[in-house]
Amino acid sequence: MATAKKSLGQHWLTDVEALEAITEFAELQPSDTVLEIGPGLGSLTYRLVKQARHVIAVELDEELAAALPNRVPARNLQVVQANIMHFDLGNLLAGYKVVANIPYYLTSNLLRRLSESLNPPKLMVLLVQKEVAQRICARPGQMSLLAVSIQLYYRVELGIVVPRKLFNPAPKVDSRVVVLKRHAKPLFNTLDTKRFFRLVKAGFSARRKKLRSSLSAGLHISKEEVDNLLKKAGIDGNLRAQNLKLQDWHSIYNKAIAQKII
């Protein structure tokens, strides 16, 4: 077995039940194209190629990428040695699925890149740090910038917990499967996502502060202007960003656009 590289966040999952559960969550069809990120030793790849039409496995580690075709000999497997953050998602067949055991350090940036891509996956089944999975699925009261970023595009479900002891080497925390299903149509029409997330990021820029203060500081406008904005949007300025629903952010966004604040 290859030695896991700490710098790349490598932790091999070889537990058969967990691997089969991950595959089942993907609801693979014989016509599916699957993007696997960080296939490692190919334990999950082995199962994916049996069910999907085409599997593209993107592996950063040169040695692992070179060895994978021999570990998992399959005509429908394409191995690409690359950094997934630089991989061209536009070349994938529309409606592809992502199935992956993601390195913890990469999770937030990778999820945003996949979600906001012009050619996004229609479904993602990801094994991530348990705490991150719970953050992605958060509801008002515990929302985060990551939760807003994902839930704008995907319906989110929690899957099985995978204990740390099932990995080699064992990470410091447990993992959990999260299933992301793309909304059939955008939640909001005519949304300028750059402006929308400028607003949301401002709201979450000081989590312990009330919305009135965080938006004032984040958007560089007075608290009086924020109070006026929130009043028109029907939002209480004494709330904190984590208390807001997506629809609340959209209401604030619409009024901010109308007042040329963002």
50-69 pLDDT, tens digit per residue, is: 999 999 999 999 999 999 99
- Identify the pLDDT of residue 3: 57
- Identify the pLDDT of residue 9: 53
Percentages (nearest 5) of helix, strand, coil residues in the chain: 45, 20, 40
- Identify the pLDDT of residue 229: 97
Domain ranges across the chain: 6-182, 193-258
For the domain covering 193-258, report its CATH number.
Answer: 1.10.8.100
- Identify the pLDDT of residue 207: 78
**Assigned token pair, 111:** 């999820």
Per DSSP, 55 falls in state E
- Identify the pLDDT of residue 76: 98
For the domain covering 6-182, report its CATH number.
Answer: 3.40.50.150
Prediction pTM value: 0.92
For the chain, the average pLDDT equals: 94
Largest CA distance in the chain: 65
- Identify the pLDDT of residue 10: 64
Say how far apart CA 21 and CA 25 lie, in whole Å.
6
Determine contact, residues 187/246, Cβ cutoff 8 Å. yes
- Identify the pLDDT of residue 12: 78
- Show the low-confidence residues of the chain (pLDDT under 50): none
Angle at Cα 57 formed by Cα 55 and Cα 63, nearest 5°? 145
